[in-house]
Amino acid sequence: MVRAAVCQFDTGNLEIKRIPYVTSTDLLEEVVSLAAGEPSLIAYTLVLPELKQRLQELAAAHGIMTVDLLGPMMEAIAAFTGVKPRLEPGAIRRLDEEYFRKIEAIEFAVKYDNGKDPRGIAHADIVLIGVSRTSKTPVCMYLAHKRIRAANLALVPEVPLPEELLALPEGKIVGLTIDAHQLYEIRQERLKSLGFPVRADYATMDRIKAELSYAQKIMEQLRCPVIDVTNKAVEETAGKILQIYQRREAHT
């Protein structure tokens, strides 16, 4: 807001100094002393009443003009909503941190989707395993929006498990399984959408049963919780995984 205002003046010699994280009277006094060393105007976004009052006292003692950028807007919102403000310093920084954690989790889910880079498995909060077309990718993306770094790996009988998966501590892996007949229909539709023959081995019932049997053995070997995603929405599956994750975090 200060920059936008300064742009309206042809002074050419206004310098803006930004001092964040002013949460104590000691630091406030330092800031005012610094401003008193040259002609200054102090624009502030303090929310604690005691800090605002102290700033005004110090500024008045030094003949420094002040502008409250945040106060009038908070007062207007309080009058409009009938809700009192929380008066918590740094609240916007916490929102920013949550936003960036979500972006990081989304980028993580994309980068380490379907075992593209097994090295990401070691850095994931949760790793989903299961045969192809068990909603691993959409569930990972849903978890990412909850700021959880989720990686996933397709279980294929012909492909050895990466060492990174075998090295994970118990509780970080969640298995996804599905009814063979529903998976058959999903894979048939997938092949049709891609223009491939529906009789491809990928979508035969024998192949599907073999993959599901292999996946079950791997999940038993890893002793991981297993969620049946048959007829479940992504949100429902993700909700169960969140419960598993939260229980694990509560015990660590």
Please check whether residues 196 and 121 belong to one and the same domain.
yes
Please check whether residues 146 and 85 belong to one and the same domain.
no
Please check whether residues 166 and 61 belong to one and the same domain.
no
Q: What is the pLDDT of residues 205-224, one digit of tens each?
A: 999 999 999 999 999 999 99
Q: Can you give the CATH number for the domain in which 225 is found?
A: 3.40.50
Q: Which of 89, 118, 148 is the last residue of a domain?
A: 89
Please check whether residues 26 and 67 belong to one and the same domain.
yes
Q: What is the pLDDT of residues 40-92, one digit of tens each?
A: 999 999 999 999 999 999 999 999 999 999 999 999 999 999 999 988 877 76
Please, what is the average pLDDT of the chain?
92
Whether the per-residue pLDDT at 97 is higher than 90: the answer is no
169 lies in which domain range?
93-250
Q: Which range (95-104, 113-122, 179-188, 243-252) has the least confidence?
A: 95-104
Please check whether residues 103 and 218 belong to one and the same domain.
yes
Within 10 Å of residue 155's Cβ, how many Cβ atoms? 25
Q: Which of 48, 67, 89 is the last residue of a domain?
A: 89
Q: Would you state the pLDDT for residue 92?
A: 67
Please check whether residues 179 and 151 belong to one and the same domain.
yes
Q: What is the pLDDT of residues 22-49, one digit of tens each?
A: 888 898 999 999 999 999 999 999 999 9
With CA atoms as reference, report the closest residue to 180 among 235, 129, 131.
Answer: 131
Give the pLDDT band (50/70/90) at residue 246.
Answer: very high
Separation CA 181–CA 187 (nearest Å): 10
Please check whether residues 122 and 162 belong to one and the same domain.
yes
Whether the per-residue pLDDT at 93 is higher than 80: the answer is no
Those residues with Cβ within 8 angstroms of residue 98's Cβ, 6 or more apart along the chain or in another chain: 147
Please check whether residues 77 and 178 belong to one and the same domain.
no
Q: Would you state the pLDDT for residue 229?
A: 97
Please check whether residues 6 and 118 belong to one and the same domain.
no
Please check whether residues 126 and 16 belong to one and the same domain.
no
Give the pLDDT band (50/70/90) at residue 197.
Answer: confident
The count of structural domains within the chain is: 2
Whether the per-residue pLDDT at 251 is higher than 70: the answer is yes
Average pLDDT rounded to a whole number, residues 116-143: 95
Please check whether residues 75 and 135 belong to one and the same domain.
no
Whether the per-residue pLDDT at 198 is higher than 80: the answer is no
DSSP state of 132: T
Q: Are 95 and 132 in contact (CB under 8 A)?
A: no
Please check whether residues 106 and 140 belong to one and the same domain.
yes
Q: Which of 68, 89, 110 is the last residue of a domain?
A: 89
